[in-house]
Amino acid sequence: MGPSAVLQVALGERSYPITIGPGLIDRADELLGPLLPLRRTVVVTDENLARTGHPRRLEAALERAGIACRTLALPAGESTKSWRFLEQVVDEFLGGGVERRSVVVALGGGVIGDLVGFAAAVTLRGIDFVQIPTTLLAQVDSAVGGKTGINARFGKNLIGAFHQPKAVLIDTDVLDGLPLRELRAGYAEVVKYGVIRDAGDFFGWLERHATGLFAGDAAVRVEAIRRSLAIKAAIVAADERETTGERALLNLGHTFAHAYEALAGYDGGILHGEAVAVGMVKALALSVRLGHCAPQELDRLRGHLDALGLPTRTSLVTNRHFPADGLLAAMGKDKKVEAGRVRFVLVRRIGEAFTTAEVGDRPLREVLDEG
């Protein structure tokens, strides 16, 4: 058994554990068995994962605990976060005989986790679910915090609910099978935590150790995920439903990223984490332009992203042109718009972020026009 860690998301009666470590899917009988009182469950995954051994490993572990599984495999990709597949998942739950005490399982990346969480939230007015995220991006971001939902034609994640999981199981072994591009995309969200919150100089720790994460160092992977989620768990506990503004810090780079993704059409040409990497660079460039932080902070972020092979501008990922007018229109449809004004997450230095709606059109256009 390799290195492991356990965190708690402190939300009173909705609190739940996050367990991080290698080989955890094979220990689902021990770790999840006690959470499934009806001794049966529905596991939702995607077709790419269905071609790996992960769903079967999970089924075998749960069967050892006397838990019967029905597994549904959906198409992979962002387009699965839709009304059509929400209906299919809810039908699978109801057809599988779920009850109010049922616990269903999301085994997959952010698309599966968001979709299954929302389906659980609306089935029988809310049943429990467990997250088993299988991408680095989902492990450090979407699987924790209770944001669930699907996309609308007007933008990402505009339909959904806050619905916290009953537990999160993060098996770091699944990262071995991820393509390098996806691993890098997930790492962008890890960097985000180091930029928004100092937390013992997490960004400095990443500068020293991140190569180990990509090289398969189990201890580094567990520690990077643990430190990322410790920051997220503290922010979620302080502002679960985004009422005080604290949770909005987790959106660093995302206002830009969602606009790039919307104009790209969610076709995989630019991955979410790649868009977030570029978006963080834009957020720091805007912070510099507005006089909030020193240019050296932007240089430090760019240098780290470059060193790990992450894009710092969209032209490094796609040959599409993203005109400022189109990006601004997409930003205007973002969830973070309040009274017609877009709220941005900016920084004073790496490790200290803040939110503001006081961003003029001209500096924003200048940053967007930089490509």
Catalytic positions:
125, 147, 189, 232, 242, 247, 251, 254, 258, 272
**Number of separate domains in the chain:** 2
Q: How confident is the model at residue 117 (pLDDT cuts 50, 70, 90)?
A: very high
Return the closest-CA partner of residue 262 out of 157, 115, 111: 157
Q: Which long-range contacts (CB under 8 A, 24 or more apart) does 177-182 make?
A: 177/52, 178/135, 178/136, 180/214, 180/309, 181/271, 182/135, 182/136, 182/137, 182/271, 182/273
Mean per-residue pLDDT for 17-38? 97
- Are both 363 and 345 inside the same structural domain? yes
Give me the pLDDT at residue 333, please: 80
Give me the pLDDT at residue 155, please: 80
Q: Report residue 129 as tokens.
A: 């679910």
Q: Residue 1 pLDDT > 70, yes or no?
A: no
Give me the pLDDT at residue 371, please: 72
- Are both 276 and 309 inside the same structural domain? yes
- Are both 15 and 152 inside the same structural domain? yes
Q: How far is the C-alpha of 267 from the C-alpha of 288, rounded, in Å?
A: 32
Q: Residue 334 pLDDT > 80, yes or no?
A: no
- Are both 262 and 281 inside the same structural domain? yes
Q: Residue 202 pLDDT > 80, yes or no?
A: yes
- Are both 146 and 184 inside the same structural domain? no
Q: Which amino acid is at 163?
A: H
Mean per-residue pLDDT for 286-301? 98
- Are both 232 and 90 inside the same structural domain? no
Q: Which CATH number belongs to the domain containing residue 17 in this structure?
A: 3.40.50.1970
Whether the full predicted model's pTM is greater than 0.85, yes or no, is yes
Give me the pLDDT at residue 156, please: 83
Give me the pLDDT at residue 338, please: 73
- Out of 200-214, 265-279, 307-321, 325-339, which region has the weakest mean confidence (pLDDT)? 325-339
| Extended strands (E) in the chain | 5-9, 16-21, 40-46, 68-74, 103-108, 128-133, 147-152, 155-162, 167-171, 337-338, 341-342, 344-349, 352-356
- Are both 349 and 204 inside the same structural domain? yes
Domain end (from 123, 147, 176): 176
Q: How far is the C-alpha of 291 from the C-alpha of 295, rounded, in Å?
A: 9
**How is residue 100 annotated by DSSP?**
T
Q: How confident is the model at residue 335 (pLDDT cuts 50, 70, 90)?
A: low
Q: Residue 191 pLDDT > 70, yes or no?
A: yes
Q: How many CA atoms lie within 13 A of 57 on its CB side?
A: 16
- Are both 67 and 112 inside the same structural domain? yes
Average pLDDT, the chain: 95
Mean per-residue pLDDT for 275-298? 98
**pLDDT per position as a tens digit, 297-322:** 999 999 999 999 999 999 999 988 89
- Are both 140 and 207 inside the same structural domain? no
Domain limits for position 197: 180-368
